[in-house]
Chains A and B, each alone.
Chain A
Amino acid sequence: MWIKKYAPKSLKEFANQKEGVEKFLKWYNNWKKNKKPCLIYGPPGVGKTCFVYAFANDKNLEVIELNASDFRDADTLRRILGSAVSQGTLSGKEKIFLIDEIDGISGKEDRGGLAELLKILPNSKNPVVFTANDAWDPKLRAIREICELIEFKKIGVRDMEKVLKQILFKEGIEYEEGVIKQIALRNEGDLRGAINDLEIIARGKKKITIKDLEHIGYREREQKIFDTIKIIFKTKTIRGARFAIMSSDKDPEEILWWVENNIFNEYEKPEEIAKAFEVLAKADIFRRRIALRQNWRLLVYMIDLISSVAVCKKNVYRKFTKYQYPDRLKILSLTKLERELEKEKLEKLAKKLHCSTRKIKTEYLPYLKLI
Chain B
Amino acid sequence: MIEVWAEKYRPKTLDEVINQEHVVARVKAFVKEKNIPHMLFAGPAGTGKTTLALVIARELYGKYWKQNVLELNASDERGIDVIRHKVKDFARTKAIGDVPFKIIILDEADALTAEAQQALRRTMENYTEISRFILCCNYSSKIIEPIQSRCAVFRFKALTDEHAKEFIKRIVEGENLDITEDGIEAILYIAEGDLRKVANLLQACAITGEKITKELVFSVAAQAKPEDVKEMLENALKGNFIKAREKLKEMLFKQGLAGEDIVKEIHRQIFNLNIPEETKVKLIDATGETEFRITEGGDAQIQIEALLAKIMLLGKGR
| 3 nearest CB pairs, A to B | A104-B118, A301-B288, A217-B153
Q: Do B292 and A217 touch across chains, with their CB atoms under 8 A apart?
A: no
Alpha-carbon distance between A237 and B88 when the two chains are bound, in angstroms: 49
Q: How would residues 90 to 111 of chain A score, 1 for a CB under 8 Å from any chain B CB and 0 otherwise?
A: 0000000000110110111100
Query: Please, could you name 12 A-B residue pairs with CB atoms under 8 Å apart, sorted by A?
Result: A4-B128, A45-B146, A69-B120, A104-B121, A106-B118, A106-B119, A109-B80, A109-B84, A220-B143, A238-B280, A300-B267, A311-B280
Please give the distance in Å from A317's CB to the nearest CB on chain B. 17
Which of B5-13, B25-33, B243-251 forms contacts with chain A? B25-33
Which of B134-142, B162-170, B202-210, B212-220 forms contacts with chain A? B134-142
Please give the distance in Å from B272's CB to the nearest CB on chain A. 11
Scan residues 200-226 of chain A and give those whose CB is less than 8 A from a CB of chain B: 200, 203-204, 214-220
Alpha-carbon distance between A282 and B155 when the two chains are bound, in angstroms: 31
Alpha-carbon distance between A44 and B25 when the two chains are bound, in angstroms: 29
Indicate the member of A68, A215, A301 with the most B CB atoms within 10 Å.
A68
B76 close to A (CB within 8 Å): no
Q: Do B26 and A215 touch across chains, with their CB atoms under 8 A apart?
A: yes
Q: Do A298 and B288 touch across chains, with their CB atoms under 8 A apart?
A: yes
Alpha-carbon distance between A298 and B292 when the two chains are bound, in angstroms: 7
A112 close to B (CB within 8 Å): no
Residue of A nearest to B32 (CB): A204
B68 close to A (CB within 8 Å): no
Residues of B with C-beta under 8 A to A68:
118-119, 121-122
Alpha-carbon distance between A298 and B284 when the two chains are bound, in angstroms: 11
Scan residues 288-318 of chain B and give those whose CB is less than 8 A from a CB of chain A: 288, 291-292, 295
Residues of B with C-beta under 8 A to A108:
80, 115
Cross-chain contact of A249 among B26, B37, B140 (Cβ < 8 A): B140
A344 close to B (CB within 8 Å): no
Q: How would residues 18 to 53 of chain B score, 1 for a CB under 8 Å from any chain A CB and 0 otherwise?
A: 000011011001001101010010100000000000
Alpha-carbon distance between A190 and B145 when the two chains are bound, in angstroms: 10
Q: Do B128 and A217 touch across chains, with their CB atoms under 8 A apart?
A: no
Which of A33-41, A117-125, A191-199 forms contacts with chain B? A191-199
Scan residues 250-282 of chain A and give those whose CB is less than 8 A from a CB of chain B: 250-251, 254, 279, 282
Cross-chain contact of A238 among B40, B123, B271 (Cβ < 8 A): B271
Scan residues 141-162 of chain B and give those whose CB is less than 8 A from a CB of chain A: 141-143, 145-146, 148-155, 158
Residues of A with C-beta under 8 A to B115:
104, 106-109
Q: Do B151 and A196 touch across chains, with their CB atoms under 8 A apart?
A: yes
B181 close to A (CB within 8 Å): no
B59 close to A (CB within 8 Å): no
Q: Do A238 and B150 touch across chains, with their CB atoms under 8 A apart?
A: no
Q: Do A100 and B122 touch across chains, with their CB atoms under 8 A apart?
A: yes
Residues of A with C-beta under 8 A to B150:
192-193, 196
Q: Do A220 and B140 touch across chains, with their CB atoms under 8 A apart?
A: yes
Q: Do A216 and B152 touch across chains, with their CB atoms under 8 A apart?
A: yes
Alpha-carbon distance between A204 and B280 when the two chains are bound, in angstroms: 54
B94 close to A (CB within 8 Å): no
Q: Do B81 and A67 touch across chains, with their CB atoms under 8 A apart?
A: no
Please give the distance in Å from B16's CB to the nearest CB on chain A. 20
Q: Do A1 and B37 touch across chains, with their CB atoms under 8 A apart?
A: yes
B277 close to A (CB within 8 Å): yes
Residues of A whose CB lies within 8 Å of any CB of B are: 1, 3-4, 43-45, 67-71, 100-101, 103-104, 106-109, 133, 190, 192-193, 196-197, 199-200, 203-204, 214-220, 236-239, 247, 249-251, 254, 279, 282, 286, 289, 293, 295, 297-298, 300-302, 304-305, 308, 311
Q: How would residues 98 to 127 of chain B score, 1 for a CB under 8 Å from any chain A CB and 0 otherwise?
A: 000000000000000001001111110010
Q: Do B287 and A301 touch across chains, with their CB atoms under 8 A apart?
A: yes
With A104-B115, A218-B153 in contact, do A193 and B141 touch (Cβ < 8 Å)? no
With A68-B119, A297-B291 in contact, do A249 and B149 touch (Cβ < 8 Å)? no
Residues of A with C-beta under 8 A to B292:
286, 289, 295, 298
B211 close to A (CB within 8 Å): no
Residue of A nearest to B277 (CB): A311
Residues of B with C-beta under 8 A to A219:
140, 145, 148-149, 153
Alpha-carbon distance between A44 and B151 when the two chains are bound, in angstroms: 12
B260 close to A (CB within 8 Å): yes
Range of interface residues on B (Cβ < 8 Å): 35 or more
B227 close to A (CB within 8 Å): no
Cross-chain contact of A196 among B25, B37, B141, B158 (Cβ < 8 A): B37
Q: Do A216 and B84 touch across chains, with their CB atoms under 8 A apart?
A: no
Alpha-carbon distance between A265 and B42 when the two chains are bound, in angstroms: 31
B66 close to A (CB within 8 Å): no
Residues of B with C-beta under 8 A to A220:
140-141, 143, 145, 148, 153
Scan residues 41-85 of chain B and give those whose CB is less than 8 A from a CB of chain A: 42, 80-81, 83-84
Alpha-carbon distance between A302 and B32 when the two chains are bound, in angstroms: 45
Q: Do B287 and A69 touch across chains, with their CB atoms under 8 A apart?
A: no
Cross-chain contact of B284 among A106, A196, A295, A301 (Cβ < 8 A): A301
Q: Do A199 and B37 touch across chains, with their CB atoms under 8 A apart?
A: yes
With A305-B284, A305-B285 in contact, do A249 and B141 touch (Cβ < 8 Å)? yes
Alpha-carbon distance between A69 and B82 when the two chains are bound, in angstroms: 10
Q: Do A200 and B126 touch across chains, with their CB atoms under 8 A apart?
A: no
Q: A68-B121, A216-B153, A305-B284 are in contact. List 11 more A-B contacts (CB 8 A).
A: A67-B122, A109-B80, A133-B146, A192-B149, A197-B152, A215-B22, A215-B26, A220-B145, A250-B139, A254-B141, A300-B267
B86 close to A (CB within 8 Å): no
Please give the distance in Å from A124's CB to the nearest CB on chain B. 22
B281 close to A (CB within 8 Å): yes
Q: Do A69 and B83 touch across chains, with their CB atoms under 8 A apart?
A: yes
Please give the distance in Å from B205's CB to the nearest CB on chain A. 23
Q: Do A190 and B149 touch across chains, with their CB atoms under 8 A apart?
A: yes
Q: Do A69 and B123 touch across chains, with their CB atoms under 8 A apart?
A: yes
Residues of B with C-beta under 8 A to A1:
37, 128
Alpha-carbon distance between A44 and B117 when the two chains are bound, in angstroms: 14
Please give the distance in Å from A16's CB to the nearest CB on chain B. 16
Residues of B with C-beta under 8 A to A67:
121-122, 126
Alpha-carbon distance between A133 and B264 when the two chains are bound, in angstroms: 44
Residues of A with C-beta under 8 A to B33:
203-204
